[in-house]
Structure 1
Amino acid sequence: MTLDLPSPIAAYVAANARLDVAAMLAPFAADAVLRDNGAVFRGRAEINGLFEDAVIPVKAIFTPDTVRHENGQVVVEGPAHGDFKGSPIRFTYRFTLEGDAITALEITA
């Protein structure tokens, strides 16, 4: 099944599938905020650190299988698999977009 994802989200998902940190970071606005299960990362440098420290070492790849629009956000759900306890785990990603940039992302399991 192919999902109709907005271009910045599609770019992020495709880059994550390749574990390409630079390309994962590219769709984010310079001042974007990412919330990951309660932890807050502000700006590209902190988000890059999260990717380098928590995504790449465990090869965490998110594979969305549903998408919907809700309260001005794009909500994408699906499993993430990798070399981590409990893999795969189902996640919900709530993206806020402005133009062609991700300005906020909240990730919950």
Structure 2
Amino acid sequence: MSAVTAFREAVCAQVARVPRGRVATYGQIAWMAGFPRRPRQVGMVLKGLPEGTDLPWHRIVNRQGHVPSRGRWWGAMLQIARLREEGIEVDDAGDLDLPRYAWDGGDPA
């Protein structure tokens, strides 16, 4: 298995663990996947997911508790809508109360 494949699989495994109604940060996922210095690459893995994936990519936000758009506002709007469907309060700018909704990394209840 290549290093890229191993990284991608580790990231996806951790993202899959984030429970409904909770969020994790890119850095948290990188750390949990065993690659603590690669939060940006976590974003690249999520950006490259196929459309319609079951992976809850929308539960990953930046360390400020913000849904980043990076010029792709339609993706941010979809992410905000999906978070709201799970009961997470997100304002129209993409900000949420990270301490309130943060997942601690433990097994979902």
Q: Same fold (TM over 0.5)?
A: no
Structure showing the higher helix proportion among its residues: 2
TM-score by length of 1: 0.28
Structure showing the higher strand proportion among its residues: 1
TM-score by length of 2: 0.28
